Amino acid sequence: MACELLPTGNAPRYILLYEAAEGGAGVLRRLLKDPQAFPAVAREALRICHFNPDTGEDEGHAPGVSEICEAACYDCLLSYSNQLVHRLLDRKAIRDILMDFQSGIVSIAPAATPRTEHLAQLNRLCSSKLEESWLSFLEDNDLHLPSSAQGFIETCKTRPDFFYEEHNAAIYIDGPPHQYPERKQRDLTQTACMEDRGYVVIRFGMNDDWGSIVKKYPTFSGVASEFCGRISRQRPRTRVGCPARVRS
């Protein structure tokens, strides 16, 4: 694994981690798929920073070393490659967050905002309780959240309830009004128009088994291709394996 601070310059706000080995080593994929992986990383980071991972107690230095490590030493955070930021490194500043990370789980944000914030935005856009329940269902089951809600698609004069950018998939959750024949016909025409233009239309109702619907479409689960995309734009050769795009 390698990392870079972004944006580069004096005030970086993010840490970009990527797989430096050509073709990738599967590390990022595992961090997403194995619920134990990220806590294990946090635990190892605490150990490297001279903290007891169970208690958080400061052991002061690496085993077998007598000199106390105040902020950082070559046994923990310092390396020759990060010399430019040595004065900023302080192992004590990250203890609490690493302790929290030990009980954390990794979830994938479909946008550049944190998942919780994105979910709140989607909820604000919902036009029915049914749509809100669908979002809660996705959240409770750790599934991918849509990229947007209630966006109008001009060419087919339709406004899907939700949309997944990466999979080009439009989601419609039909409430009781969709049972009327006239409405049913309009829905069919819109679906045909969307499919002709290459969209994947996923339409279901309040009484359908949502569990089997999410199993049927990789749009909702699997390793997020959004995540892959973001990594591959930075480092084209280190692309994490992505699921094939869905085409109905």
Give CA–CA dist 170/74, Å, rounded.
52
User: Interface with Zn ion includes 46 (CB under 5 A)?
Assistant: no
Count of residues of this chain found to bind Zn ion when the rule CB under 5 A is applied: 4
Main-chain dihedrals φ then ψ at residue 67, nearest 5 degrees: -70, 130
Q: Are 200 and 219 in contact (CB under 8 A)?
A: yes
Q: At 187, which amino acid appears?
A: D
For residues 141, 144, 145 and 147, what is the CA-based torsion angle, rounded to 10 degrees?
A: 180
User: Interface with Zn ion includes 73 (CB under 5 A)?
Assistant: yes
The one among 32, 42, 69, 194 contacting Zn ion by CB under 5 A = 69
CB 73 → Zn ion: shortest distance, Å?
Answer: 3
- Taking the least distance from each CB to Zn ion, the nearer of 69 and 119 is 69
Main-chain dihedrals φ then ψ at residue 16, nearest 5 degrees: -95, 120
User: Interface with Zn ion includes 45 (CB under 5 A)?
Assistant: no
CB 57 → Zn ion: shortest distance, Å?
Answer: 15
**Of 66-74, 137-145, 166-174, 204-212, which segment contacts Zn ion by CB under 5 A?**
66-74
Per-residue CA distances from 240 to 97, 106, 146, 204, 219 (Å): 27, 16, 21, 31, 17
**Of 18-26, 68-76, 132-140, 186-194, which segment contacts Zn ion by CB under 5 A?**
68-76
Main-chain dihedrals φ then ψ at residue 35, nearest 5 degrees: -65, -20
**Of 64-72, 124-132, 173-181, 209-217, which segment contacts Zn ion by CB under 5 A?**
64-72
The one among 28, 76, 202, 228 contacting Zn ion by CB under 5 A = 76
- Taking the least distance from each CB to Zn ion, the nearer of 48 and 108 is 48
Q: Tell me which residues touch Zn ion (CB under 5 A).
A: 69, 73, 75-76
